[in-house]
Structure 1
Amino acid sequence: MFKSILVPIDLADTALAKKAIDTAATLARTYDGKVRLLHVISLTPVVLAEYVPADFDEQQRHDAETALAEVAAASGIEPARLSTAVRQGGIYHEIIEEVTAIGADLIVMSSHRPAMRSYFLGSNAGHVVRYAPCSVLVVRDS
């Protein structure tokens, strides 16, 4: 049923992602599928560009890839079923792009309980749920 599962992760809060990773791992084992962990790096605002080193984006990508590899190693998912990716851009836009790129048929993502501001402004999880071309499973923190 679910052969390709995408799990977007915020490396600033890997504890929140644990439930989503565990859920994706269970589904991958059940349906003989694969899991792709994704982290999206936000674009550096133009106003700050002159204040950061020239290789800032490359360093951010390297740091994210290293941290994501650590999360992957600790996930307990067999390496043959697991891959990682780092993208840069708008979070929900890049998640949707990655779904298309890998042909994912499920997104499993974590989300905080909605705050009042989320009801008016929306959230990344909300955007993904609305615009994803595949099923989305939102795992809430307790």
Structure 2
Amino acid sequence: MFTRILVPIDLAEPQMTEGAVTYAEALAKAFHSKIRLANAQSLTPVKLLDYLPQDFNENIRRGLESELSAVAAKIDLPAARISTALLFGPIYQTILAEAERWGSDLIVLCSHRPGMDRFLIGSNASAIARHATCPVLIVR
């Protein structure tokens, strides 16, 4: 039923990451699916670039790729069925673009418990759920 499961994760939220990955792993085992872990990072504001070391972006990229690989290594699936994507840009738009590009037929992600701030300004999870062209499973 599902062949390509995209799992957007927030590396700064290990409990939320684990929740989404656990669900995706169970679904991938049941349907013999592929999983792609995706982490989207906002771009560094141009105003800050003068104050950062020249290799700042490369160091950040290497560190994030290492963290993504560590999460992927914990998934109990053959390595050929797991991939990662480190993305840069506005979070929900970048995730939706990756879902389209990779051909995802399911997105599994975690969400914070909604508070007043979420109701007033929205959240990435709700934006992804509203605008995705494939089913979205939101794990609390």
User: TM > 0.5 between the two?
Assistant: yes
2:62 maps to: 62
The alpha-carbon deviation at position 35 of structure 1 amounts to 0.4
The alpha-carbon deviation at position 80 of structure 1 amounts to 2.2
1:128 maps to: 128
SS of residue paired to 2:109: strand
Code of the residue aligned with 1:42 in structure 2: it is: S
The alpha-carbon deviation at position 77 of structure 1 amounts to 3.0
1:14 maps to: 14
Across the aligned residues of Structure 1 and Structure 2, the Cα RMSD in angstroms comes to: 1.0
1:92 maps to: 92
- Counterpart CA distance in 2 for 1:70 and 1:33 is 20
Q: Is contact 1:9-1:17 (8 Å) kept?
A: yes
The alpha-carbon deviation at position 76 of structure 1 amounts to 2.5
Q: Calculate the TM-score normalised by the size of structure 1.
A: 0.94
Gap regions ≥5 residues in structure 2: none
Q: Is contact 1:41-1:61 (8 Å) kept?
A: no
1:50 maps to: 50
- Counterpart CA distance in 2 for 1:56 and 1:49 is 9
SS of residue paired to 2:36: strand
- Counterpart CA distance in 1 for 2:92 and 2:131 is 9
Runs of 4+ in structure 1 over 6 Å off = none
SS of residue paired to 2:13: helix
For residues 114-136 of structure 1, give each alpha carbon's deviation from its aligned partner in whole angstroms, at most 9, with x where no partner exists.
Answer: 11110010000011011111110
Code of the residue aligned with 2:73 in structure 1: it is: A
2:139 maps to: 139
2:101 maps to: 101
2:114 maps to: 114
The alpha-carbon deviation at position 47 of structure 1 amounts to 2.1
| % identical equivalent positions | 46
